[in-house]
Structure 1
């Protein structure tokens, strides 16, 4: 079964957010848009650049009603230590979930077998808990938070405008398409 269109599975995890440890579960995610942003490990190299990039977009995501959950197989204690010691990670105001038992990474199918680390993967989940967007890159390729925000805007638009789709490079306010027999072969 493909992951797009599937519903997130139950989980409970400890998060580090805004100077506190907070329990988060799948039920906390329902009712709003969410981003699950998996990364291999704390105190590494590409990961802090991605997490900082996402932190720079967090206020815009919040304004759109989107919550962010960064996930690695480290503990919430490790997340706090990293947050307190790294200028890049210190910018983060979103949840940093500890997944040391690998439940969340397994639920999303991104746990690297035999390594105990998550792949570099992003999942956008709609308010019904259904996965609408996914991106997985190899170890050395970082993601772009501006492009993620664009994709989320498109997913929100499509949800709010049934019968409309967003073409390549669609930006908010741009033309959309209404798929029909009249468009076949004309694009």
Structure 2
């Protein structure tokens, strides 16, 4: 069963944000768009390149009213140590959730049980708490924040323009489609 259009399951966790430990729960997601980015582990190889890419684009996500949450099965203490020692991770200003029990990782169905680590999962959650985008990658395949930004803009457009859809490679300001019988066989 797909997670698309399902509600985020309740959770509570401790996270690192702006050098401080904070409590985070599913209630914090209500009323705004959120992106959850799961990654295998701190102090690894592909992960810092992805989190740095998100950090470099964080202001653009914020302009769209989107909060980013990175999640791994490491503790919030490990996140702090990584943040303090890695030049790439020092750039991170968004929330880094520690999920040492794996509860959140399992809720999003990205846990590799035999390793206790997460797959690379990306989830876009609307202000109502519904999952609108779900992408899961093999851990050897890194993600691109600019492509995620494009998808966020498309999801926000569709949410605010009922009856319209965004075609492949849609960019903000481009034409959309209005599905109807008139379009069948003409695209």
TM-score range, shorter chain: over 0.9
Tell me how far 1:113 sits from its aligned partner: 1.6
Q: Which residue of 2 aligns with 1:61?
A: 61
Q: Which residue of 1 aligns with 2:76?
A: 76
1:38 matched to 2:38: yes
In 2, Cα distance between equivalents of 1:57 and 1:33: 16
Q: Which residue of 2 aligns with 1:14?
A: 14
In 2, Cα distance between equivalents of 1:68 and 1:139: 20
In 2, Cα distance between equivalents of 1:88 and 1:135: 24
Tell me how far 1:16 sits from its aligned partner: 0.2
1:158 matched to 2:151: no
In 2, Cα distance between equivalents of 1:96 and 1:40: 13
Q: Size of the alignment, in residue pairs?
A: 187
Tell me how far 1:178 sits from its aligned partner: 0.2
Tell me how far 1:78 sits from its aligned partner: 0.3
In 1, Cα distance between equivalents of 2:139 and 2:107: 20
Q: Which sections of structure 1, spanning at least 5 residues, go unmatched? A: none
Q: Which sections of structure 2, spanning at least 5 residues, go unmatched? A: none
- Indicate the SS of the match to 1:43: coil
- Indicate the SS of the match to 1:88: helix
Question: Root-mean-square deviation (CA), in Å?
Answer: 0.5
- Indicate the SS of the match to 1:23: strand
In 1, Cα distance between equivalents of 2:10 and 2:176: 35
